[in-house]
Amino acid sequence: MEGKRGEQMDYEFIRVARDQAVGIITLHRPEVLNALNLKLVDELVEALENMDRDDSVRTIVLTGNEKAFAAGADIDEMADETAISMLLKDQFTVWDRIATINKPIIAAVSGYVLGGGCELMMNCDIVIASETTKIGQPEINLGVMPGAGGTQRLTKMVGKVKAMEMLLTGSPISAEEALRYGLVNKVVPVEMYLQEAVTLAKKIAAKPPLAVRLIKKSVLKAIDNPLSEGLAYERNCFYLLFASEDQTEGMRAFVEKRKPKFTGR
Ligand code: DAK
């Protein structure tokens, strides 16, 4: 992945790669099941924001390895924290930037997706899971609770009673159960989960980028806002797309029975 001035970006705990218009970020602390330390999260947010700014990247795939997407925040790093040291470090400001990425993020997960790993996955827009995936919020076993959206996003996604069970027992659920509860889009054999995510990312990458961006924003509005506000937001986005060259091209191509060429303008 090229940096702003064309230099190669160097990261310690993540890897970045490209496959056509798809940016691929791989969490890379395999010796600790991709536990999310502060530096990894900083690097992840920087890479996501670089890809968000890069017009040649249309969609992003976020993955780990077969054994772990991420087994949560780094417990060694957190063990000696106090309420005040956590407050002063203010890690949430960096974390919250993940939710502001405009381009679709497709999570390709396998193995452990726990705690902060589950919260990271729930910040993604589409999730492809391997059959070996185990998803949970085990913070209760450490004497704490989720702090990066686990009680809120999980409840909105799976409903009250399942969220209660997962959060209060700390026990992970299987990929198949996650599929039934709408936490993941698709479950595939472990050899296929990354390729499946990249194929889906390429399909979305071929769509008109402005429509992709405004659809993502509108869907996220549906989660955070009352219906009337979401509908008003959707309508304004719909009008706005009629100011785009891609709307003219998309509709003209349909009428002329040819494939559209979208430019993102
Ligand atoms: N942190 C640090 N190291 C971890 C880790 C973690 N979360 N998970 C695993 N490891 C390390 C293990 O210590 C071990 O290291 P060595 O002993 O080899 O040095 C290595 O990874 C392999 O793990 P195991 O030997 O334990 O492997 P097993 O297959 O036996 O067990 C396991 C796998 C996933 C069941 C087990 O490792 C486990 O229970 N891990 C902890 C899972 C957990 O409790 N996760 C929740 C952590 S709390 C925030 C954002 C997010 C969060 C907080 C704040 N901000 C933005 C402020 C989130 C909090 C959390 O996620």
Beta strands in 145-247 (DSSP E): 173-174, 186-188
Task: Tell me if 87 CB under 6 Å of ligand 1.
Answer: no
pLDDT of residue 3: 45
Hey, how many other C-beta atoms are within 10 angstroms of the C-beta on 43?
A: 22
Which of 28, 32, 41 best tests ligand 1's pocket when mutated (most atoms within 8 Å of CB)?
32
Dist. CA 132 → ligand 1 center (Å): 17
pLDDT of residue 13: 98
pLDDT of residue 5: 40
Condensed to tens digits (0 to 9), the pLDDT of residues 141-167 reads 999 999 999 999 999 999 999 999 999
3-class SS string, 67-118: CEEECCECHHHHCCCCHHHHHHHCHHHHHHHHHHCCCCEEEEECEEEECHHH
| Known active-site residue 77 | no
Which of 27, 74, 75, 91 best tests ligand 1's pocket when mutated (most atoms within 8 Å of CB)?
75
Hey, how many other C-beta atoms are within 10 angstroms of the C-beta on 53?
A: 11
| Known active-site residue 7 | no
Stretches where the chain sits below pLDDT 70 are: 1-8
Query: Three-state SS for 151?
Result: helix
d(CA 103, CA 109): 19
Domains of the chain from N-terminus onward: 8-205 (3.90.226.10), 209-256 (1.10.12.10)
Specify whether the CB–CB gap between 202 and 22 falls below 8 A.
yes
d(CA 78, CA 32): 14
Condensed to tens digits (0 to 9), the pLDDT of residues 98-125 reads 999 999 999 999 999 999 999 999 999 9
pTM of the entire predicted model: 0.96
Task: Tell me if 148 CB under 6 Å of ligand 1.
Answer: yes
In DSSP terms, 63 is beta-bridged to 26, 108
